[in-house]
Chains A and B, each alone.
Chain A
Amino acid sequence: MARYDSNFKLSMALRGHVLVAFILGATVCASGQNVPLLSGGVGFVTNTNGGSTSYTPTIEPVLAMPLGQHFLIESRANLLESFAPNGGGQPGYNHTHFIGLSYLQGDYIVSPHLTIVGGSFLIPFNTYNERLTPLWISNFQATPLIFSLGNMSGGMATGGQVRGSLIARPKYSLDYAAYFSSRVGTEQFVAKRSSGVRTSLYLPKQRLEIGASYDRLLQGFPASHENFYGAHVWWEPSNTAFRLRSEFARGHHAQGYWIEADYRTQAFGGLDSWVGRIEPVFRMQQTFRRDTVVSDGLPLVNTQRADFGLDYNLPHNTRILTSYSRQFASNGNRNIWQTGIVYRFLFPTWKGK
């Protein structure tokens, strides 16, 4: 991702994205196969942290274009404008804009056991980066405190990845993903040289997923190469709308975990009743410093944080997100309030057959 202060650069980047979409889309149209789709989310969020409130309108478009029977090109971008109060006692607000690609990758499906991914992709470390970062999926607007561990700060890799199903049986399945990323410092594709692997076991009957991740930073002095270890557990018991998700991550200088639970009751007319649309959410997270070398994006001191959220799932793919967080740390406690409204859109890029 890259930050621009120039409207010209922003405009050119957008035009380039649209041009690529148009050219590739025209190719797909000619083949008469599945129509490319434009999806994503648009939202408006507010964040009050330590008494300072910022306002952020955001758009996250997703493009997916199948080519033939085995190839898929997909990309997600992030465009936002952030309005925050001027610091230093100055009145008024300052605003910055931001545009960047979350990923732009080509997928070649060889078989269920092997998909080859090339380009810029999300690092397959634990679950949050790949599954829960989309604006319209996450229950909380803020990423977990340990997000940067194993995700090389930005969560992007540029290089190659293989992934697929190792074993798929009715009672269990085992998946894997392995990647290598080169060091890239261009404006749109910032990535660190690293490699890693993740595997996860899923038990359909119990609806339980357990996984482990490992990756290694490979740039800088050899002595500064850092290993990251991760583990995740997801449990979504059948016949309920209850979900429990958790992750643990450990780096050379810090470690931590988060546990998140959300629930929607079906007892008062089902999930589509006005009561069933209410979704209380809770997340507990802690970080622990292993030494005083701060290079991983985690808080400078041991930190505990409890997030209490209440989301409301409106019809037509719209969600209202609210949350209150209390953070405890030896360098000061703080309250964080967040509110937002998110709409998910999904439509074909043109009318298909």
Chain B
Amino acid sequence: MTMNPRVLLLAFAALLSSPLQSQDTSPKTPRQPAGSTKSAAAAKPQESEGQRVFQQNCSRCHNAPEGFSPSISGTIVRHMRVRASLSHHDEQELLHFMNP
């Protein structure tokens, strides 16, 4: 027995439509990095430049780990600079965002 691909695609479309409809009724807050970065973001009502860099690069693949030591924030940002081809300016903004 093989499943009709159209049936599967229809099911997939139905799944997609559900969250997008509920999106309008949900609070307009993006998925935040957790831990120390979360508290930094919560203190600012407007999206900071560093938060924008995080949202556009890091959070495309993963959430921020919780509660890491400030001593390794520079290493994390260096790692992200390679992965996401960040500019030096973006690197500094991200570093400030993660370690305010």
Contact = CB atoms under 8 A, between A and B. Distances in A.
- Interface size class, chain B: 35 or more
A339 interface: no
Interface size class of A (residues with CB under 8 A): 35 or more
Contacts of A236: 60
A66 B71 CA distance: 12
Interface of B, secondary structure class, is helix
Interface string A35-64: 111010000000000000000000000001
A138 to B, nearest CB: 10
B43 interface: no
B85 to A, nearest CB: 4
Contacts of B8: 284, 304, 306
27 contacts: A34-B71, A35-B71, A64-B75, A66-B74, A131-B60, A131-B61, A137-B61, A163-B85, A168-B87, A175-B85, A236-B60, A240-B23, A240-B30, A241-B31, A267-B25, A282-B15, A284-B8, A286-B5, A304-B5, A306-B8, A316-B66, A330-B2, A346-B65, A346-B68, A351-B71, A352-B72, A353-B71
Nearest to A236: B60
B98 to A, nearest CB: 12
B39 interface: no
Contacts of A261: 12, 15-16, 19
Given A34-B75, A239-B23, 4 more contacts: A72-B78, A239-B28, A240-B23, A266-B27
Nearest to A115: B82
B82 A72 contact: yes
A207 B88 CA distance: 22
Contacts of A130: 83
Given A263-B19, A264-B31, A328 B3 contact: yes
Contacts of A113: 85
A64 to B, nearest CB: 5
Given A66-B74, A282-B15, A348-B69, A112 B88 contact: yes
B74 A33 contact: yes
B19 A112 contact: no
A164 interface: yes
